[in-house]
Structure 1
């Protein structure tokens, strides 16, 4: 029997920015799992970006008391102004997402990706037939992925010229 109950239920992955995320906590994870996954990796990445934006926007209510300032990676406390700027920037990005997507798609994407609601809950709240939220979510995530510049396949040069920093190869710096 495993010692760590939480560890056996985690589905760790690395996001597009190199951070560890637990995909098992996302309603999208089941839709993106398996050989015949309903969602492709670019859909999952677009949904995870929305989740991170909602977290940074500070739109979710706090459920515990905060007894100290936020400590940044360098050990110094981050001021309230820095948090406010971060939240405002995230809210602007979320607003741009709402304007880029059709209203129904934006609502479902926010409910599922941002507020972590299940698809059945979204359908019940909106009075939709079963499995309809799944299709609207896929359409919304496809448009959102296009908005972010994500696609199902990597795009770019197949070969990049090699760069060298050997003696005599360094660029001349002019000040």
Structure 2
């Protein structure tokens, strides 16, 4: 179990159990080839997304917020009550999901942020059975690329379809 650092000196750091994380589970398991089911870079990218999700306070509350009960401090304008750090985390979170697209972002949200297991994520997203791990792998790779953990693939080979030395004609074919 690792302990996340405290955000302020007045609060103790919450414990985070890697065994409870679907990403931690996938990272600890080996495939038929002996390699981990997700790479270290994929794990780091998924954890970074999870941290931004938690700091952005996007998860629904499951209990009453007793910190502000009876004080009248809540205005009912939740976005106005967010800290600058939470707003920055929301921007980072949405930028990351926008970069991978809605098809891959949905599985990242389910597995990385909401801690859904693979079978549960497949059901929620209407994916064929046992395809979620492949889709998650693609999503984590795209996310790692967004965070700069992986370089963009180089495209070699054909860069154009014209013959060597040819030049385009301005104005179209009839000019």
Deviation at 1:12, TM superposition (A): 3.1
Query: Would the aligned equivalents of 2:107 and 2:125 in 1 still touch at CA under 8 Å?
Result: no
Deviation at 1:57, TM superposition (A): 1.0
State the TM-score, normalizing by the size of structure 2.
0.64
Counterparts of 1:25 and 1:106, CA distance in 2? 21
Change (3 A) 1:143 1:41: same
**Residue 25 of structure 2: aligned partner:** 30
Give per-residue Cα distances to partners, 1:147-169, cap 9 Å, x unaligned.
Answer: 111149xxxxxxxxxxxxxxxxx
**Residue 43 of structure 2: aligned partner:** 44
**Residue 170 of structure 1: aligned partner:** none
Deviation at 1:82, TM superposition (A): 8.1
**Residue 138 of structure 2: aligned partner:** 139
Counterparts of 2:57 and 2:109, CA distance in 1? 14
Instruction: Determine whether 1:12 maps to 2:2.
Output: yes
Off by >4 Å, runs of 4+ in structure 1:
80-83
**Residue 102 of structure 2: aligned partner:** 103
Counterparts of 1:138 and 1:104, CA distance in 2? 13
Deviation at 1:41, TM superposition (A): 0.8
**Residue 59 of structure 2: aligned partner:** 60
RMSD: 2.7
Question: What pairs up with 1:112-151 in 2 under 5 angstroms?
Answer: 112-151=111-150
Give per-residue Cα distances to partners, 1:31-89, cap 9 Å, x unaligned.
Answer: 111452110111111111111111111111112233337xxxxxxxxxx9784322211
Deviation at 1:142, TM superposition (A): 0.6
**Structure of greater Rg:** 2
State the TM-score, normalizing by the size of structure 1.
0.64
